[in-house]
Amino acid sequence: MTALPLILTVFVACAVEAIEALTIVLAAGLTRQWRSTFQGMAAALVVLAAVVGVLGPTITLLPLGALRLVVGALLAIFGLQWLRKAILRASGHKALHDEASAYLREVAAAKAAPEVAKGRVSDWYAFTLSFKGVLLEGLEVVFIVITFGDNQRDLGAAVIGAAIAVVVVTVTGIAVRAPLAKVPENALKFAVGIMLTSFGSFWGAEGAGVAWPGGDAALLVIVPVVAVVSLSYVFWIRRYRPPDRLAQPARTPVAESGGVTG
């Protein structure tokens, strides 16, 4: 695999996580105070750097076969969970992840919480909200970067993809000062789920001792096949297992979003 598909895959996956983190940070910063929000962000980034510092070198010590088996299993599990959620959302069984409504929920909770100072942090709520949001989404970014980078023995390309995603989302967030609600998040998650499942299955099976027909070129078949099967599941559920009418809004989320294509 050349560096470009690796960079693109990591970019899309990390952009989704960065958008979710941005929503939480904006809610904390705009409704509470920026100082404590930035302190929370900084603390989370320090923890993430420590995780990378420990996990990065440790994981590279593993033999490639064992690494691919473990990482492949984790990526496939991750990818299938992403696909499961994306398919349920696209078929109307689960509400679409809407950054605007997620932002409004966070804002309402932030406005209701009392302002408590702890140590050098003047607003503990803003600090913990920002810390948790950045840490949780950041852990997923770290996991994706390390696993994809190490497996392809090209950590630099994976870091570039992640860094571009974080910078693009941050700059856009600063420019619009609002959650990135117009991003077709379910479509992106669908795409990331397909990539994680495909790479996870490929590397996991390789780690288990399989020699794929065509070597790395097998991915050119696996990715479209996973995409087609996943899309067929959306149509299968829409056709044969429609959501409960009582739980269905007047306009379905699927109709509003244009399904998995955004």
Decide whether 38 or 233 has the Cβ nearer to other proteins. 233
Q: Minimal distance in Å, beta carbon 2 to other proteins?
A: 22
Q: Residue 121's beta-bridge partner residues?
A: 118
Buried b / exposed e along 76-85 (16+ C-beta atoms within 10 A): bebbbebbeb
Q: Residue 118's beta-bridge partner residues?
A: 121
Q: Minimal distance in Å, beta carbon 247 to other proteins?
A: 7
Decide whether 6 or 196 has the Cβ nearer to other proteins. 196
Q: What's the CA gap between 162 and 195, in Å, rounded? A: 15
Q: Minimal distance in Å, beta carbon 163 to other proteins?
A: 23
Binding site for other proteins (CB under 8 A): 69, 72-74, 76-78, 80-81, 83-85, 87-88, 91, 93, 139-140, 197, 200-201, 204-205, 207-213, 218, 222, 225-226, 229-230, 233, 237, 241, 243-244, 247
Decide whether 7 or 90 has the Cβ nearer to other proteins. 90
Q: Minimal distance in Å, beta carbon 201 to other proteins?
A: 5
Q: Minimal distance in Å, beta carbon 85 to other proteins?
A: 8
- Lookup result for tokens 């070129």: 217
Decide whether 98 or 137 has the Cβ nearer to other proteins. 137
Decide whether 161 or 200 has the Cβ nearer to other proteins. 200
Q: Minimal distance in Å, beta carbon 73 to other proteins?
A: 6
Tokens found for residue 21: 């983190």
Decide whether 96 or 107 has the Cβ nearer to other proteins. 96
